[in-house]
Amino acid sequence: MPEITVGKENSAPIHLYYEDHGIGKPVVLIHGWPLSGASWEKQMLALLGAGHRVITYDRRGFGMSSQPAIGYEYETLSEDLNKLMLHLDLRDADLVGFSMGAGEVVRYLGKYGKDRVRKAVILSGITPYLLKSTNNPTGVDGSVFEKLKAGLAADRPGFLHAFLQDFYNFDTLEGTRISEHALTASWITAILASPKAISDCVQAWLTDFRPDVLRMDLPTLIMHGAEDRIVPIASSAAVLAKSMKGAKFISLEKAPHGILWTHADKVNGELVEFLR
């Protein structure tokens, strides 16, 4: 099983599981909460078919990576990404972040620069700053995140099942763009993640990435579902697109948060074209 060691907690090393397939220009896919690198299934096939080298990895606490009780803030998470980039000696790479994974992309570029990166893609991203404040009036009220944490503490399995229904807008897209089996597969992935990671990452979503965005000067694609119930487009992608001159911004009609699955046809087409 391919993995790298990114740290240590007490007596145990912290490992990141990754997959590295294909040849060509490298593309690193960074998954969202509460899933794993396996959530890129449809994009991996499309990118391999387009002649790319495709790398996915499981964030610490998720999938087949170690489940430490530490490191669920973006300083550490972006450092984990940097260690993977160095371990594989990736150069001229494209970084693609979905949802929470957008945070790793933006913080990595803000902290380590673009020496190893060619292009960036933000899909359903939480960037640039999700929390509503006096200087961020379009953000999401803090009480929403407190309810998320309370729901996880009270009944994590039940809460995640309900969350994933909104993740995919299951009430309107079932049978057309997602099946009950696909929803169940996501729930199984989510329930196997570390309870500590699941909870701590909610707090990490409130990171202010605006200073990092100011340091991003590379070709960027931003794509978001117009009917995203998890990360409202007006609080995220629309703001990010305005702050990044020259970025390509695509709003997907009638699309939910989980566009990697429900709108894979559109996502894959735009992704392959942008990374060509």
3-state secondary structure of 19: strand
Would residue 161 show up in a list of annotated catalytic residues for this protein?
no
CA distance linking residue 224 with residue 240, whole number of Å: 11
Would residue 228 show up in a list of annotated catalytic residues for this protein?
yes
Please report where in the chains the tokens 């729901």 appear, as a residue.
151
Round to the nearest angstrom and report the end-to-end CA distance of the chain: 30
CA distance linking residue 258 with residue 33, whole number of Å: 11
CA distance linking residue 95 with residue 109, whole number of Å: 10
pLDDT for res 245 = 86
CATH code, domain carrying 105: 3.40.50.1820
Would residue 257 show up in a list of annotated catalytic residues for this protein?
yes
Nearest Cα to 68, choosing from 157, 194, 152, 190? Answer: 194
Range of the domain at 137: 3-274
Its pTM stands at: 0.97
Main-chain phi, psi angles of 140, to 5 degrees = -95, 135
Each residue's pLDDT, cut to its tens digit, for the chain (276 residues) gives: 799 999 999 999 999 999 999 999 999 999 999 999 999 999 999 999 999 999 999 999 999 999 999 999 999 999 999 999 999 999 999 999 999 999 999 999 999 999 999 999 999 999 999 999 999 999 999 999 999 999 999 999 999 999 999 999 999 999 999 999 999 999 999 999 999 999 999 999 999 999 999 999 999 999 999 999 999 999 999 999 999 989 999 999 999 999 999 999 999 999 999 999
Give me the catalytic one of 36, 78, 99, 194. Answer: 99
Q: What is the largest CA-CA distance in the chain?
A: 49
Q: What is the number of structural domains in the chain?
A: 1
